[in-house]
Amino acid sequence: MEKIGVAVRLRPPSNADLTKANYWKVVDNTISLCSPLGTPVSGQAFTFDYVFGTEVGTRAIYDLHARGVISSALHGFNGTIFAYGQTSSGKTYTMRGSKTELGLIGLSVHDVFKHIQKMKVREYLIRVSYMEIYNEDINDLLAPQNRKLQVHENLEKGIFVAGLREEIVSSPSQVFELLEFGEAHRHVGQTNMNIYSSRSHTIFRMVIESKDKNELLTGACSSDAVRVSVLNLVDLAGSERVAKTGAGGVRLKEGTHINKSLMTLGNVIKKLSDGAARQGGHIPYRDSKLTRILQPALGGNAKTAIICTIAPDEIHIDETRGTLLFASRAKRVTTCAQVNEIITDAALLKRQQKEIEDLRRKLKGSQSDISEQEILRLRKDLLRYELEKERLELELQEERRAQMERDQRIKEQELRIENLSSLVITSAFDDALNKENGKHLENRQFQNNALITVRRERQLSPLNFELLSEKSSEKCLIGSRRELDFEGMSNFENIADEDLWATMNDGLPVTDPEFLFSTPNRWASSVGSTKGRASSSVIGVLMSSKAKIQQYKGQLEEVQKENSELRAQLKDSTTFEAELHSALMELKDEFWIIKNSTKAMDDFRNILNDAKLGFSSLCSELRLEEKQIESGFVKATRLTNTHMRSLSNRIFELEAELSKVRVEKVELQTHCQIYSEQIQRLTENFTKEGSASCTKAPSRSPGAGQELGFPFVSVENDACMNSAEAFGQINGIHKPGEELHFKHQLDSKVLEMGAEPCSMQKDRNICVSDDSWLRRKRNKGDSVDECFTSAMQDRNAVSADVLMCTKADDKSDFNKLECMTQMFLMSQEHIRALEKQLSNANLERERFRTMLQEQLSRHEKSMAAMKLQKRRFAQELKSIMEAIAIQDNFVTSICLGIQGFDNKQGQFKCQSILGEVPIQ
C-alpha cells in the first residue's frame, strides 16, 4: 500500500501587483495564504510532497515528482500522472508543455525510450492511445471517427475502453506525431479566463510490455513472464465558474459536464481518503466516465502522482483553496501497486523448479547455512502452493459444473418455452378465473382463425397444490389464483376462483377443499364441531355453489368440446404447417438448385465469353495473317507479272530478231546462190580461157567479160586477159601498152571482187540462228567451201601454170582468194556463235516459262488452301456465335424466368431474341 504522490504547482500570477491582496506563499513543501501584510492566514497552510513555486520549471517537477511513476511503469507497475486545478491554472502547460518547454508527457516519452535503450536485458513493446472525455462521451483522438466509446471491465483486461485505437510506437518522434494528431482533434475553446481552454479531459495512455531478453541466451529460467503496465498521463479540464468564464451555450454545457465529472472525482477522492474502500464502502467510480477510467489509478493497482495547479491571483483564492483541499484529501488516498506479470503455467513451473534447484544446491553446498526451519518453511510454502492450486482447480471444476447446469437449465427452459409456444391453447379457465365473482364462462372468446399461443407464466405442480393446502391458514382456504396450474386440476372439483373460495371459506379453517366440496354435511358438522358457527345459510350457499358447479360443468363440457374441435383444427393446421414446411424446404432446395445452376450458368457464360474472346482474337490474328499472305501474294504476282512482261518483251524482241534474221537469211541465200554461180562461172571461165590461152594466141577482146553483164566476168576476163597478156608477152605477140591497160583492168576487177565478199560477210554477221536455217546454212557453207576448195585448186593449178609462164607478180589474186576463204570461215564461226546464243535464249525462255508456271501453280494452290481455311474458320466462327447466342438466350431466359414470375398470368416469362415469351 502506498500513498498517492501529490504536488502543487503555482503558476505565475496574471496580475503582478500583489501588494494590496492576500497571496499564496510557498515555503519548502508548504503553501500558505498570507495577508497583504505577509502574515499567514490561520488554517490556510497546506503541506504536500512537493510545492513548486512559480520559478520552478516543468523539468524539475518531472524529475522530482513524476520520474518515479514512469520508472515504476517501466518495471511493470501501472502508473498515472494527472494535473488537476481550476481553469487557466496551468494544467495543460504542465502536462503538454509550451513551445519553449516540454511538458510532463513529452518528458515521460523521452524517458521511457531512453530507459528502453539502456535496458539491454529486456525487450519492450510500447502501444499508445489518446482519448478525450467530452460531455461525458469518450472519443478516440487517434481515430476521430471512433466516438462515444464504452467503458468495459473484465477479469483479463480490467477496466478498459472498448474500440480504442492503439498504435505501436518505437521512437519518441512517432509518439509526438500521434500526440499532434490527437491534439488537432481535441476539443478546446475560448473562455474569458483562457483563450485556449481545454473543454475535455484527455488521457494519453502508454501500454508498456516487456520481457526478459536474456533468458534464451543464458538459459536462465528466471521467468518468461511478460510484464504489462499501463501509464496514464491525464490532462483534466479545469473547474470553472460561469461568472468568471462567461460561458454560455455550448461552453456552458461543456462547463457543466466538466464540473460534474470533477465533482465526482472529488467525491471519489474524499471517500477514498476517508477509508471507505477499506471499510467496504461504496466508491462512486461509475458516476462519471473520468472516475471509471481512473478507477485503478485512484483506488487500485497503480502508482499515482497528482499535480494540482493553482493560480496565485487573489480573485481565484476560493478555487485555489478548493484545489488545495482536493490535494490534501488525495494525499491520504492509498493504492496497492504491484507488478503486472502474465505468467504462463510453464513459467510458473520453471520458477518453482528453479527454487527447488536453488534449495538443493544450497543444501549440498553448506548444510549449515540453511536451517532446518527454513527448509520446513519452504516445504510448507510448496505444500501451500499445491493446496492452493488444487483448491483453485476444484473451484474451477465446480464453476464449470455450475456453468453446465446453468446451461442445461437454460436449454430446458428454452425447450419448454418452445413447446408451450407451439401449443395452441385457448384456456377456458383463464377467462373464468379472470372474471370477477364467478361470472359465467359464456363470454369466453375463442379465436378460431388464429393460433393463439399462450405462455404459461405460472405453474403449480400437485405438490405445490398440496403445499397450498398445507399453507392454508385457519382463516384462509384461498390459494393464490396466480399459483394455480390448470394442468394439475383435471376435474372441476379442484377449481375455484378466489371469490368463490372466499365465499365458501368465509374465514373458516377448512384445509381440505375436496372434503369441502364433496361432503357438505360432513363439512357442516366439522364446522360445527370446530367453531360452532355453522349455519344453514352457508349450506345454502354451498348448494347454490353446487348448482353453479353443475352449470359450469355443462359449460365446461361445451368448452371441452370446443377445445377438442380446436385441437382438431390445430392438428389440421399442424399438418398443414408441416406440409407447408416441407413445401418450403422443397422450395428452398429448388431455390438453391436454381441459384447454383445460375452460378454454373454464369460460370459457363464466363467460359463462353472467354472462348469468344479467344476466338475473336484468333480470328483477328488469322485475318491479319490472311491479309499479310494476300499482300505477299499480290506482291509476288506483281513481281511475276513484271518478270513475265520483261520475258515476253524479250521473247518478242528475240522473235523480231529471228524474223529479221530469217529475212536476212533469205537474202543471204540468194547472195550465196549468186555467189556460188559466179564462182562456178568464173572457174569455168578460168578453165576455158586458161586452156585457150595455152593453146591459141591471145586475142584482144577487152569487152568480152562485159558481155556477161556481171562484174566478176570482167575480173575473170581481166584475169584471163592478164594471163593472156602474160602469155602474149612471154610469146611477144601483143603490144606493151595494151598489156598494161589490160593489167589495170584486171586489177580493178580483182578489187571489186574483194569488196563483194566483204559486204557478204557483213550480211552474215547480222544473221541469227535458226535450226533449219542453220542446217541449210551449214550445207550452203559446206557447198561454198567445196566450191572454194575446188576453185582454189583450180586457181592454184592455173597459178602454177601462170607462174610457170610469167613472173610472180600475180600473187595478189591468190591472196585475195585466201582472204575471202578466211572471211568465209569467220562468218561460219559467227553463225555458230549466233546459233548458240539463240539456243541459250530459247533455253532461258523455257526455264523462265517453267519457273513462272511453277510459281503460278504454287500461288494458286496456296490461295486455294487459304480460301478453304478462311471458309472453314468462318463456318466455325458462325457455329460458335450461334452456340453463344443460344446459351445467352438460355441463360437470360433462366435468369428472367427466376425473377420474372408474372403473378397476374401465373407463369414465368423470359426475354428472348423474339421478345418476351412465356415459359410453359
Ligand X SMILES: Nc1ncnc2c1ncn2[C@@H]1O[C@H](COP(=O)(O)OP(=O)(O)OP(=O)(O)O)[C@@H](O)[C@H]1O
Q: At residue 363, what are phi and psi to the nearest 5 degrees?
A: -60, -45
Looking at beta carbons only, is 53 or 711 nearer to ligand X? 53
x-or-dash string of contact with ligand X, 392-431, rule CB under 6 A: ----------------------------------------
Burial status of residue 171 (CB atoms within 10 A of its CB: 0-12, 13-18, 19 or more): exposed
Q: Which stretch binds ligand X (CB under 6 A): 59-67, 85-93, 322-330, 437-445?
A: 85-93
Full 3-state SS string of 659-689: HHHHHHHHHHHHHHHHHHHHHHHHHHHHHHH
Q: Of residues 358-387, which lie at the interface with ligand X (CB under 6 A)? A: none
Ligand-binding site membership of 273 (annotated): no
In angstroms, the CA 315 to CA 591 distance is: 79
Q: Nearest Cα to 193, choosing from 87, 312, 91? A: 87
Q: Which stretch binds ligand X (CB under 6 A): 86-94, 433-441, 448-456, 804-812?
A: 86-94
* 316 forms part of the interface with ligand X (CB under 6 A): no
253 is in an annotated binding site: no
By C-beta, is 129 or 191 nearer to ligand X? 191
Cα–Cα distance list, 415 to 409, 410, 412, 455, 483 (Å)? 10, 9, 5, 13, 22
Question: Binder to ligand X among 32, 72, 88, 685 (CB under 6 A)?
Answer: 88
Q: Which of 32, 78, 197, 223 binds ligand X (CB under 6 A)?
A: 197
Can residue 323 be called a binding residue for ligand X (CB under 6 A)? no
**Residue nearer to ligand X on the CB measure, 294 or 774:** 294
Tell me which residues in 863-902 interact with ligand X (CB under 6 A): none
Q: Which stretch binds ligand X (CB under 6 A): 91-99, 165-173, 765-773, 902-910?
A: 91-99
Distances (CA, A) of 673 to 562, 666, 783: 154, 10, 10
CB of 119 to ligand X, least distance (A): 33
For ligand X, which stretch binds (CB under 6 A), given 158-166, 192-200, 366-374, 840-848? 192-200
**Cell, residue 43:** 488554517
Whole-number Å distance between alpha carbons of 189 and 420 = 61
Q: Which is nearer to ligand X, 200 or 340 (CB)?
A: 200
CB of 67 to ligand X, least distance (A): 19
User: Which is nearer to ligand X, 238 or 299 (by Cβ)?
Assistant: 238
Which residues have C-beta within 8 Å of that of residue 714, sequence separation ≥ 6? 705, 706, 745, 749, 752
- Binding ligand X by CB under 6 A: which of 72, 89, 223, 526? 89
Where does this chain touch ligand X (CB under 6 A) — which range of 89-97, 166-174, 175-183, 817-825? 89-97
The response to whether 427 counts as a known ligand-binding position is no
**Which residue's CB is nearer to ligand X, number 251 or number 780?**
251
CB of 9 to ligand X, least distance (A): 7
Residues 259, 652: Cα–Cα separation, whole Å: 123
Q: Does residue 200 belong to the site contacting ligand X (CB under 6 A)?
A: no
Angle at 882 between CA 595 and CA 908, to 5 degrees: 40
Cell numbers linked to 897: 424466368
Taking residues 146 to 185 in sequence order and writing x for each that binds ligand X by CB under 6 A, - otherwise, the string is ----------------------------------------
Q: E strand or H helix at 414, and its extent?
A: helix 372-422
**In 117-138, which positions are buried (b, 16+ CB within 10 angstroms) versus exposed (e)?**
eeeeeeebebbbbbbbbbbeeb
Binding of residue 92 to ligand X (CB under 6 A): yes
Binding positions for ligand X, 11-30, rule CB under 6 A: 11-12
198 counts as binding ligand X under rule CB under 6 A:
yes
The residue among 313 and 739 lying less far from ligand X, judged by its C-beta, is 313
Phi, psi values for residue 220, rounded to 5°: -70, 140
Backbone angles phi, psi at 170, to 5 degrees: -130, 5
CA 589 to chain centre: 33
Residue 699 dihedral angles phi and psi, to the nearest 5°:
-105, 150
- Quick check: 745 binds ligand X (CB under 6 A)? no
Query: Binding pattern to ligand X, positions 237-266, x when CB under 6 A?
Result: xx----------------------------
| 91 is an interface residue for ligand X by CB under 6 A | yes
Instruction: Determine, following the binding rule CB under 6 A, whether residue 85 of this chain makes contact with ligand X.
Output: yes
CB of 229 to ligand X, least distance (A): 27
Cβ contact 913:892 at 8 Å: no
Is the distance from CB of 102 to CB of 115 less than 8 angstroms? no
* 371 labeled part of a ligand binding site: no
Please indicate if the annotation marks 89 as binding a ligand.
yes
CB of 217 to ligand X, least distance (A): 47
196 binds ligand X (CB under 6 A): yes
Does 194 participate in binding ligand X (rule CB under 6 A)?
yes
Q: Cell 494535473, residue? A: 83
CA distance 80 to 303: 6
The Cα 214–Cα 755 span in angstroms is 131
Q: Is 91 annotated as a binding residue?
A: yes
Contact range with ligand X by CB under 6 A, out of 191-199, 490-498, 783-791, 857-865: 191-199
- How many of the chain's residues bind ligand X (CB under 6 A)? 18
CA nearest to 825, candidates 791, 768, 792, 782: 782
Nearer to ligand X, 240 or 739 (CB): 240
Collapsing DSSP to helix, strand or coil, 43 comes out as strand
Residue 798's CB is within 10 A of a number of other CB atoms, namely: 24
Contact between 315 and ligand X per CB under 6 A: no
The reply to whether 92 sits in an annotated binding site is yes
CB closer to ligand X, 76 vs 312: 312
Run of H or E residues at 326: helix 317-332
Question: With respect to ligand X, which residue has the nearer C-beta, 101 or 586?
Answer: 101
Task: Using the rule CB under 6 A, give the single segment among 196-204, 298-306, 354-362, 487-495 that binds ligand X.
Answer: 196-204
Rule CB under 6 A: is residue 190 a binding residue for ligand X? no
Q: 165 or 251, CB closer to ligand X?
A: 251
- Residue 488 annotated as binding? no
Please tell me whether residue 98 binds ligand X under the rule CB under 6 A. yes
Q: Which is nearer to ligand X, 98 or 706 (CB)?
A: 98
Looking at beta carbons only, is 87 or 505 nearer to ligand X? 87
Range 509-518, long-range pairs (CB < 8 A, 24+ positions): 509/473, 509/474, 509/475, 510/472, 510/477, 511/469, 511/470, 511/472, 511/477, 512/469, 513/469, 513/477, 516/477, 517/493, 517/546, 517/549, 518/493
Distances (CA, A) of 339 to 58, 114, 229, 577: 28, 21, 8, 64
Q: How far apart are CA 559 and CA 920, in angstroms?
A: 51
- Span of 15-23, 92-100, 680-688, 844-852 interacting with ligand X by CB under 6 A: 92-100
Identify the residue among 24, 84, 93, 501 touching ligand X (CB under 6 A).
Answer: 93
Q: Does residue 605 interact with ligand X by CB under 6 A? A: no
**Cell output for 773:** 536455217
Q: Does 90 bind ligand X (CB under 6 A)?
A: yes
Residue 202 lies near ligand X (rule: CB under 6 A): no
What are the two backbone dihedrals, phi and then psi, of residue 8, each rounded to the nearest 5 degrees? -120, 135
Nearer Cβ to ligand X (307/542): 307
The sign of the CA dihedral 9, 15, 18, 23 is negative
Q: Work out how close the CB of 294 gets to ligand X at its nearest, in angstroms, rounded to a whole number.
A: 17
Rounded-to-integer distance, Cα 62 and Cα 55, Å: 14
Cα-based distances in Å from 154 to 157, 158, 477, 576: 6, 5, 51, 50
Looking at the Cβ atoms of 317 and 750, the one nearer to ligand X is 317
By CB under 6 A, name the binding residues for ligand X: 11-12, 85, 87-93, 98, 194, 196-198, 237-238, 309
Binding-site residue numbers are: 85-92
Binding-site residue numbers for ATP are: 85-92
